[in-house]
Structure formats: structure tokens, C-alpha cells
Amino acid sequence: EVQLVESGGGLVQPGRSLKLSCAASGFTFSNYYMAWVRQAPKKGLEWVATISTSGSRTYYPDSVKGRFTISRDNAKSSLYLQMNSLKSEDTATYYCARTTEGTVDYWGQGVMVTVSS
């Protein structure tokens, strides 16, 4: 059974940093592109970052480019999201996501990040 378990969320002040982690199991982690998708309170879904199987290629939307960094450790079947210079508009539930065939086929349970002073 595919499982994606996020951790590392919490309350952080504007301008500070936070690192999210995602522990994957139930599949060969190194075979899949992975992504982070977020959802602001009572809002829709927003793609945040994607990383290739080896980690050599990363992709971001303009809203987080230069502030967020996605990375992975295939030996540990783990995905990470380093978030710097956080803003109030980054407040959201962050989902770890497995991607394949142009879709997100599995989602984690999500972790809440609140950016507030």
C-alpha cells in the first residue's frame, strides 16, 4: 500500500524558514517524480514544486521560485521542502504527492503550515 506521511509543519513567523518532510513507503520511491501541492484554508489546490527521480531537475511556479527548494533522498525514501522567507500567503496545508502519467496518483494526509506573527 502506497503511503506518504508528511511532517514538519507548524506556526512560523513571516520571513522565517521551515522544512517539511515526507516519508514514502509501499512503492519504489526512486522510480517516481514527486511533488508538493498546497491548499490554503477553504481554497483550491496549488502546485508548489516537482522533482525528478534522481533529484537533478526541479520545477517551481513563480509564486515560490527562489524561496522554496524541493529535494529528495532516495536511500531514505524521503521527500523534503525547504521553505524560506515565508509569507502569510504561504499559509496552507501542504501535501506530499506522487506523480506519474501527468497526474498525482497518491496524496499524503497533509501538514499544516501557518505563517503569522
Partner 1 sequence: DVVMTQTPVSMSVSLGGQVSISCRSSQSLVHNNGNTYLSWYIQKPSQSPQLLIYKVSNRFSGISDRFSGSGSGTDFTLKISRVEPDDLGVYYCGQGTQYHTFGAGTKLELK
Q: Write out the residues near partner 1 by the rule CB under 8 A.
A: 35, 37, 44-47, 50, 59, 61, 95, 99, 101-110
In the complex with partner 1, the residue whose CB is nearer, 17 or 48, is 48
Shortest Cβ 75–partner 1 spacing (Å): 26
- Distances 44 to 17, 20, 38, 53, 90 between C-alpha atoms, Å: 24, 20, 8, 27, 13
In the complex with partner 1, the residue whose CB is nearer, 50 or 72, is 50
Shortest Cβ 59–partner 1 spacing (Å): 6
Residue 87 to residue 17: CA distance in whole angstroms: 10
Beta bridge partners of 113: 10, 92
Shortest Cβ 97–partner 1 spacing (Å): 9
In the complex with partner 1, the residue whose CB is nearer, 66 or 75, is 66
In the complex with partner 1, the residue whose CB is nearer, 72 or 98, is 98
Shortest Cβ 52–partner 1 spacing (Å): 13
Residue 114 to residue 62: CA distance in whole angstroms: 20
Sequence-ordered list of residues with C-beta below 8 angstroms from that of 5, at least 6 positions apart, any chain: 22, 23, 24, 25, 96, 108, 109
